[in-house]
Amino acid sequence: MFTLYVWGPGWDLPSIDPGCLTVIVYFQLLVSVEWGIIECNNPNISPTGELPVLKDGVEWIAGANNIIRHVKRKGFDADENLTTRQNADSVAYVSFVEDGIYDSLLYLWYADTKNFTQAISPLYGKLLAFPINYYIPNQIREIAKTRLEKYGVISVGDQGFLVDKELKMYKAIRKSYKILLDKIWDNEFFFGNNLSTLDMVVYGHLATHLYSDLPNPSLAIILRTEFPRLVMFCDRMKGRLSEREIVKFPFNDLPSVFTGILKSPRTWFNNTFWQIRNVEKEAEKSQAQKDFERKRIISITGAILFMVTYVIWNKIISIEFISEKDKEYYDNDDVDDDDVNDNYDDSDNDGDDSDDDDGENE
Amino acid sequence: MSNQTWRNAINNNPIQQSIRQFLAKFPLKIHRSLYAARELDVPRLYTWGPGWKSGQQTSFDQECVKWQTLLKFSKSDFETKSLNEPLMSPSGKLPFLVLTTGDVLVDDAIEKHVTDMYSENLGSLNNEQQEADSAAYIASADTKLRNALLYNLWCEPANESITYNKYVGHYAKPLDKLLFHKYKSLAVRELLTRKPVLDKEEIYQEANEALQAISIALGDSKYFFGSSLPTFIDAVVFSYIHVILNIPLNELVQVQSNLVKYSERIYNEYILSGF
Amino acid sequence: MDNEEFPLRAHQNVEAEEFMSNNFEAQAKKYKEYEEAAIKLNELVFDTKDCPFYIHSFQILGTQKTRQSLFESVVYSALQARTLSSIIDEVRITADKLNRLDIFKHVDVLLDNSSDPLAQPGAIDVILSTEEKSRFWIKTGTEIGNDAGSANISLNIRNVFGGAETLETYISAGTQTSYFCLAKPINGNPDSKVDISAYRLTKNNQSFSSHDEILQGIALRWRVLSKLGFHELTYGTSWRQICNIAKDATLSIRESAGHSLKSSVAHTLVRDMRDDIMLPSRGYYIKLFQEFAGFNGDVYFVKNEFESQINFPLGKGFIFSASLRNGLLYPFKTRQSQICDRFFLGGAQSVRGFRLNGIGPREEKKDSLGGDAYIAAGVSLFTPLPKLSRYPVKGHFFVNGGNLVRINTSQRLAVSLNNLAKTPSVSAGVGVVYRSSILRLEVNFCLPLIATNTDKLKKGLQLGLGFNFW
């Protein structure tokens, strides 16, 4: 019995993550034994920290490619009928999809500030428990930053927002789509008339470009207007998949303290409505501006607080609480100190003064 | 008066003109500088060097070999200088190409320069399907083979000393240790963008799969996809095979014999032939 | 007191002087009694100055954190005194030293007959009452700009371990600058300090040389005041990175990018006898600097620099000033010097009439490469301005020039130095100088007279703002 742990659903897709979607599709179309998915949204259960993860008996296999390799060995091989050359092409094109096509998704989700702040960040906020819902998107964003460097996408400002300074990214995205288009050409599948792993990998990635509902759906627009054959391919795949049911197992075997919060309906409710209300009002101010202002207010408040604390500590302005009894005590003490000081002052004019006395005594 | 004529009137004011004439007389005497400007006769490629084995004309760094080979394919005139300092490059990584005009090119700009100026010596692919295949196989080399290369050079403790000697041996102590850690963390950072966890077996297994696929794609032909002259994918694949054959990774992955012969042939035909 | 008033007096008119002397006469009567008493006291002390006395005990009141060993070293010489006059002198010197260690707010001295019944005749007790200064001093700042901000904090601690050590730290987040220095006076002598410091700072040289320089290092330093002047001996190691080469930088600058490690010993001697650093009217200034690099690291050179300035007041507010500077950097074991060690010449505070670092070796009129040997000289005449003598403003006529050359180690040194005389760059001009309390501002109209074709000239108005001008 296979259990697939995956990222949760979104936008009418069984999972928002391309790797998870690929293995779900593979299982839907090829695996005939009992299997089910768990929408666990917690990458920490995986031995590598990445989802999807397959649990087969006592074995844990992480990563889409490893899962497919494992399942192929168990007898569910989508590439049985491919020629040697086609198998080699499959290896090459899968690498290409995980490289260039995935970079396009990273750009759409993490470099486009509107998409990131209005859709992706809240999406992770909804799916993940505190505190990893802050940690995960930023971690992926760091990876996105490094991967997108080669396209000229650079980090700007102290919030690190990614900007495509030379507009190379969209050229590269179109080039990647064209390569897939040239490969499939007029065929129903990438390698002729039969389904293969590459089809499922391509669908897994392109579905997230095409069917996601984002404020700035630039990839979906490019695909629909310029690469209709790829859209038709995705629609065909989606049609086949809608006939195959997905069994979902309940999510109950993770002893995380924070899963309770995650499942709370009120938080989910607040998140959705709060976000809708604010989208229109704050459309003008970009995230960078808001964060900058927040930082500014924090630093000014911090500086004032520090100054006030310092002033009070050093008794420049002192706040004292004196009871009646203590007051009398303090008054007496003051008198004594004055007497002592007077004694010192008289003899303190000059060293010479006292020497004078000594000299005379001698 | 209109704005323009008013401005002209001010500028052509006789007092203004005489001041300007007076100022133009200064400096009273001008010497010629003792230092002549340095100009390049031919474009110069700054790379890591020298090669892994003594007498090798290629760099020890895979990216440098790739661009060096592409320039050799194009039969363009250029010279190579190995100062081993990536801070000189606008991208912070070697190689970079300085043209006689003074422009500095890195990465894709070098490819564009070569295909614009010297396309007659390079091969071309027959149709769009082959170009798509070319891009896909280049992607598999740049991900799977590069992962294995980076892991083998920077993350295998046994190979630390050879990598250290090549990349940072020329710095004074203790800078060499500091810079070694810096380059190593850059390599690991790059690996982590493609793999969540660095699993040695998985990395080498995927490299084997990629090598097998590339070997099948090449088959018996002289250059990839039946082209009569080398193209960009030949430079890419040659750079990986050539470097892999010269480092300990050679014993951990299986390089098919047709790739070995291909690599040797390209080295003898293009790299060694001096022009 | 005379020195404090002097610079002001140079700019004040005669009326102010009269006012000052009138004020003094009014107060003279008040202090007449004190004067008479003081004269009598002085006579008595003078008569008894050679009587044998010794210091029986030294009491220091009001210190909690300062270590005893510090006091022991400070009072040591006073304890050797054997006559009244020497005791008085030594105690005064001791109090002055303690003041200059900068850990006390005030030091009051009291000499008294010894109260110890077992003391020998001629015993004196000395009591110093002090009040310690506050230990911590923190300053924070934030800079908020349109698209970036940075924060800095500096923390100073006085009397860290009780021996008058000072700790200075400064960190600035936005500019990635930090500085840390722990100083200790040797044997309680505030004029002789040893310190250890670590620093990191970034220099932006993009405007004249198309690169940035990051410096990090540690240094051990001894600063001491001697009869010759102020000495500073430093042994340090510094890691320099030349990076962020601009896109249009010349090839030589691009090829100088990289890392270098300098391990060197340097000595500086400064003798400053001027009356004012910013706009001196009399006195001279000499600075000698030598550095030898090559212990570890990969930078080997011998460096020498000499700076001098002399000023004469010509009466009625006119001042004549002349300066001469030269420097020599000789690399050995390597073919050429590093750009971060070379000299640069030109600019409003260096040689007027030329842009910042505009003189010297250059390729294609763009980036300044710096040089290994230079010579620069200038003469200036400061004039009082009519109706403005109340303010610290002066008119300024100047002629200055210099030359900066590279040294070719394959040739004889004399040949390279000969080049210094071959292509000088000279300019002249007039302007106005304003000395505010923290800065000197110069506005000059400059005309370059002789220049090299690659020099960056500044014909016409040039503005200078700073502390040190030549």
One-character DSSP codes across C2-30: HHHHHHHHHH--HHHHHHHHHHHHHHHTT
Residue B10 touches chain C, beta carbons under 8 Å: no
- CB-CB under 8 Å, B193 with A182: no
All partners of chain C with 3 or more CB pairs under 8 angstroms? A, B
> Is the pLDDT reported for residue A180 higher than 60?
yes
Give C118's contacts (C-beta < 8 A, 6+ positions apart): none
Cβ-based neighbour number of residue C281 at 10 Å:
23
| C170, β-bridge pairs | C154, C179
pLDDT in tens, B130-164: 999 999 999 999 999 999 999 999 999 999 999 99
- CB-CB under 8 Å, C361 with B26: no
Residue C355 touches chain B, beta carbons under 8 Å: no
Q: Which residue has the higher pLDDT, B122 or A293?
A: B122
Least CB-CB distance to B128: which of A66, A150, A182? A182
Residues 294-333 of C with CB under 8 A from A: none
Burial class of residue A297, CB neighbours in 10 A (0-12, 13-18, 19+) = exposed
- CB-CB under 8 Å, A362 with C41: no
pLDDT of residue A288: 59
Amino acid, single-letter form, for residue C221: R
User: What is the torsion angle, in degrees rounded to the nearest 10, for the CA atoms of residue C173, residue C175, residue C176 and residue C181?
Assistant: -90
Helix or strand run (H / E) with residue C327: strand C318-331
Calpha distance B213→B259 (Å, rounded): 11
Query: Choosing among A163, A344, A352, which should be mutated to test the C contact, i.e. which has the most C CBs within 10 A?
Result: A352
> Is the pLDDT reported for residue A110 higher than 90?
no
Of all residues in chain B, the one with the smallest CA distance to A145 is B193
Calpha distance C312→C283 (Å, rounded): 7
Least CB-CB distance to C452: which of B31, B37, B83? B31
pLDDT of residue A357: 40
**Strand ranges (DSSP E) for chain B?**
29-31, 44-46, 79-81, 96-98, 104-105
> Chain-centre distance of CA C134, in angstroms?
26
**Gap from C450 CA to chain B (nearest CA, Å):** 5
| C287, β-bridge pairs | C270, C307
Calpha distance A50→C72 (Å, rounded): 68
Residue A79 touches chain B, beta carbons under 8 Å: no
pLDDT of residue B1: 54
pLDDT of residue C61: 85
Count of positions (residues) in chain B: 275
- CB-CB under 8 Å, C140 with A357: no
Report all structural domains of chain C as residue ranges with CATH numbers, in order of start: 54-132 (3.10.20.310), 264-466 (2.40.160.50)
**Gap from C126 CA to chain A (nearest CA, Å):** 9
How many CB pairs lie under 8 A apart between chains B and C? 93
- Which of A102, A103, A5, A110 shows the shortest CA–CA distance to A63? A5
- CB-CB under 8 Å, B129 with A50: no
One-character DSSP codes across C202-250: EEE-HHHHS-EEEEEEEEEEEEEE-SS-EEEEEEEEEEEEEE---TT--
Q: Within chain B, what is the greatest distance between any pair of CA atoms?
A: 86
Residues 75-114 of B with CB under 8 A from A: 107
Cβ contacts of B179 on chain C, cutoff 8 Å: 259
Least CB-CB distance to C448: which of B27, B88, B90? B27
Cβ contacts of A293 on chain C, cutoff 8 Å: none
CB A37 within 8 A of CB A25: no
Cβ contacts of C84 on chain A, cutoff 8 Å: 355, 359
Q: Which residue has the higher pLDDT, A250 or C180?
A: C180
- CB-CB under 8 Å, C259 with B179: yes
Query: Choosing among A46, A70, A91, which should be mutated to test the B contact, i.e. which has the most B CBs within 10 A?
Result: A91
Cβ contacts of C411 on chain B, cutoff 8 Å: none
pLDDT in tens, C229-255: 999 999 999 999 999 999 889 899 999
Calpha distance B95→B45 (Å, rounded): 7
3-state secondary structure of B213: helix
- CB-CB under 8 Å, B34 with C419: yes
Q: What is the pTM of this model?
A: 0.79
Query: Choosing among B110, B140, B198, B256, which should be mutated to test the A contact, i.e. which has the most A CBs within 10 A?
Result: B140
Alpha helix segments (H runs only) across C48-144: 68-79, 84-100
Count of positions (residues) in chain A: 362
Residue A150 touches chain B, beta carbons under 8 Å: yes
Amino acid, single-letter form, for residue C28: A
Residue A146 touches chain B, beta carbons under 8 Å: yes
Query: Choosing among B20, B28, B33, B183, which should be mutated to test the C contact, i.e. which has the most C CBs within 10 A?
Result: B33
Looking up tokens 């007191």 gives C1
Q: Within chain C, what is the greatest distance between any pair of CA atoms?
A: 87
pLDDT of residue C340: 94
**Gap from B33 CA to chain A (nearest CA, Å):** 39
pLDDT in tens, chain C (470 residues): 444 444 455 555 666 777 777 777 777 777 888 888 888 888 887 887 778 888 888 888 888 888 888 888 888 888 888 888 888 888 888 888 888 888 888 888 888 877 777 777 778 888 888 888 888 888 888 877 655 677 888 898 888 887 788 899 999 887 788 999 999 988 878 889 999 999 999 998 998 999 999 999 999 999 999 898 999 999 999 999 999 999 889 899 999 999 999 999 999 999 999 998 888 989 999 999 999 999 888 899 999 999 999 999 998 889 999 999 999 999 988 888 999 999 999 999 999 999 999 999 988 778 899 999 999 999 999 999 888 878 889 999 999 999 999 988 888 888 888 888 888 999 999 999 999 888 899 999 999 999 988 899 988 899 999 888 88
pLDDT band at B11 (very low <50, low <70, confident <90, very high): low
Q: How many angstroms separate the Cα of C294 from the Cα of each of B83, B138, C212?
A: 22, 48, 24
Burial class of residue C5, CB neighbours in 10 A (0-12, 13-18, 19+) = exposed
Report all structural domains of chain B as residue ranges with CATH numbers, in order of start: 44-121 (3.40.30.10), 128-272 (1.20.1050.10)
Calpha distance C176→C199 (Å, rounded): 10
Q: What is the mean pLDDT of residues B15-44?
A: 83
Residue C140 touches chain A, beta carbons under 8 Å: yes
The helix-helix angle for A197-210 and A218-226 (nearest 10°) equals 120
pLDDT in tens, C276-322: 888 898 999 999 999 999 988 889 999 999 999 999 999 888 999 99
pLDDT band at B2 (very low <50, low <70, confident <90, very high): low
**Gap from B207 CA to chain C (nearest CA, Å):** 34
Looking up tokens 């041996």 gives B169
pLDDT of residue A351: 39
Least CB-CB distance to C110: which of A295, A306, A347? A347
Q: How many angstroms separate the Cα of B134 from the Cα of each of A86, A182, A206, B220, C231?
A: 14, 12, 21, 17, 69
**Gap from B33 CA to chain C (nearest CA, Å):** 6
Calpha distance C403→C359 (Å, rounded): 7
Calpha distance A133→A131 (Å, rounded): 5
- CB-CB under 8 Å, B133 with A48: no
Q: How many angstroms separate the Cα of C409 from the Cα of each of C264, C329, C415?
A: 20, 11, 10
- CB-CB under 8 Å, C111 with A362: no
How many CB pairs lie under 8 A apart between chains A and B? 82
Cβ contacts of C261 on chain B, cutoff 8 Å: 171-172, 175
- CB-CB under 8 Å, A84 with B140: no
Query: Choosing among B19, B35, B182, which should be mutated to test the C contact, i.e. which has the most C CBs within 10 A?
Result: B35
Of all residues in chain C, the one with the smallest CA distance to B103 is C248
b/e for A322-339, b at 16 or more Cβ within 10 A?
A: eeeeeeeeeeeeeeeeee
- Which of B63, B120, B56, B124 shows the shortest CA–CA distance to B97? B63
Q: What is the mean pLDDT of residues A122-126?
A: 82
Of all residues in chain C, the one with the smallest CA distance to A289 is C147
All partners of chain A with 3 or more CB pairs under 8 angstroms? B, C
**Gap from B104 CA to chain C (nearest CA, Å):** 7
b/e for A119-129, b at 16 or more Cβ within 10 A?
A: bbbbbbbbbbb
Calpha distance C425→C422 (Å, rounded): 10
**R_g over Cα of chain A:** 34
Residue B172 touches chain C, beta carbons under 8 Å: yes
Least CB-CB distance to A354: which of C42, C111, C144? C111
CB C391 within 8 A of CB C433: no
